[in-house]
Structure 1
Amino acid sequence: MTTKIETLEAALRNALGSQIRSLTVALGEVTVVIGASEYLSAMRVLRDHADLRFEELIDLCGVDYSTYADGTWEGPRFAAVSHLLSVAHNWRLRVRVFAPDDELPVVPSVVDIWPSVNWYEREAFDLFGILFEGHNDLRRILTDYGFIGHPFRKDFPVSGYVEMRYDPEQKRVIYQPVTIEPREIIPRVIREEKYGMK
């Protein structure tokens, strides 16, 4: 007797075939990795194929793998990870697509397939700098319009690059370089043990 996960895995392999770069099962969840060039067609198949019917995109988030596995990760740096739900079949799927270029991460937008992804793609753009090709309104959603950088990238400084404050003389909000002094972020217990400090 086949389990629900095995049935989903077989349906995915049958419907997507060589479009699947990898398929893993962990903790009762299936994850497929799709190449950026096959991403749009694969996502349409996931939604429309009778054996799959993933009608809902529940979530999409960006991921920065630059420090993954203690910095030993050798694959692409940025990925967009989608979570899909099939109400008809009562199963879930995680789909990961890596941006081929680390300097300018671009993946196709799936907003035409699932309109609910609109704000999720904007969030991944704002926080990670992942561009979604074909998104008709890709702009910042959580940070200020004048914000510099993408704050969820692993190389973004904890204190940021600029700070915003109201200047009473100019009677407006101004941006200036960060004036916060760097502080020790190693917990005292570890500092004392490792460096012999008291």
Structure 2
Amino acid sequence: MINKETENLINLLKNENKLDFQNYTSVNNFVVCLGETKDLYNNLNILKKSETFKFKQLIDITGVDFPEREKRFQLIYTLLSHEYNQRIALKINFIDEEIIPSIVNIFTSANWLEREVFDMYGIKFSNHPDLRRILTDYEFEGYPLRKDFPLTGFKEVRYDPEFKKVKYDTVKLQQDYRDFDFESPWRGSEYIASEQKKAGKLKDD
């Protein structure tokens, strides 16, 4: 059941002509707006500076990877209005390699948040003052939170006491990676038989 404050906020958003969103939803009285990349900067700027909303704090920028979708990536911007005690989330969906406008000029805290998204997903932001990795090493290969990034990574980093420096080596597995399924012998013959029986592939003796 949506509460009165959430309903009022959605109505205010819909009635603000300068905002451009495609959809409004409420999740546990948390307003979520779906927009497009081209409107992102303008929407966030209005939500922060408008006396109607006053969402003056950027809490987080979250990335999501959906490899099966045409628009593979999603960014979620979470804002907080201290004066009205309300939160709101803005979502945008976009294709791989699309460049997103930086919002550092609106929220200075977006500087490191956008760097984290770039580091983890490889999503690039235009007009960012210092877009470089922030969590991984500068020579790190790949983007760890993409669904196609291998669990083992590409390289391992270790300190070499002989040379007294950090070395990068290609990851070497002691055995090949195995993708287990219901028919794997590691699960046991009794387990396989019970699963086949459930599926109607094996009849009772």
TM-score (norm 1): 0.84
Contact 1:105 1:129 in 2 (8 A): no
Aligned to 1:157: 150
Aligned to 1:78: 73
Deviation of the 1:29 alpha carbon? 1.0
Amino acid at match of 2:54: R
Contact 1:160 1:178 in 2 (8 A): yes
Aligned to 2:86: 91
Deviation of the 1:174 alpha carbon? 2.4
Contact 1:81 1:97 in 2 (8 A): yes
Contact 1:98 1:107 in 2 (8 A): no
Deviation of the 1:25 alpha carbon? 1.2
What is the CA–CA distance in structure 2 between the aligned matches of 1:167 and 1:179, rounded to whole Å? 17
Distance of aligned partners of 1:12 and 1:109 in 2 relative to their CA distance in 1, 3 Å threshold: same
The number of residue pairs the alignment matches comes to 187
> Which structure is richer in relative contact order (CA contacts within 8 A, separation 6 or more)?
1
Q: Does 1:49 align with 2:44?
A: no
Amino acid at match of 1:93: I
Deviation of the 1:51 alpha carbon? 1.4
Q: Does 1:129 align with 2:122?
A: yes
Aligned to 2:30: 29
Deviation of the 1:154 alpha carbon? 0.5
Deviation of the 1:144 alpha carbon? 0.6
Q: Residues 111-137 of structure 1, C-alpha deviation per residue, up to 9 Å, x if partnerless?
A: 110111111111110011111111101
Give the number of the structure whose alpha-carbon radius of gyration is greater. Answer: 2
Distance of aligned partners of 1:164 and 1:50 in 2 relative to their CA distance in 1, 3 Å threshold: same
List gaps (5 residues or longer) in structure 1. none
Q: Which moved more, 1:86-95 or 1:163-172?
A: 163-172
List gaps (5 residues or longer) in structure 2. 195-205
- Structural mapping, 1:1-198, within 5 Å: 3-15=4-16, 19-66=20-67, 71=68, 74-99=69-94, 101-102=95-96, 104-168=97-161, 170-181=163-174, 182-184=176-178, 186=180, 191-192=187-188, 193-194=191-192
What is the CA–CA distance in structure 1 between the aligned matches of 2:180 and 2:81, rounded to whole Å? 45
TM-score (norm 2): 0.81
Contact 2:13 2:19 in 1 (8 A): no
Q: Secondary structure of 1:20's partner?
A: coil
What is the CA–CA distance in structure 2 between the aligned matches of 1:135 and 1:120, rounded to whole Å? 11
Contact 1:126 1:139 in 2 (8 A): yes
Deviation of the 1:167 alpha carbon? 3.9
Distance of aligned partners of 1:129 and 1:195 in 2 relative to their CA distance in 1, 3 Å threshold: farther
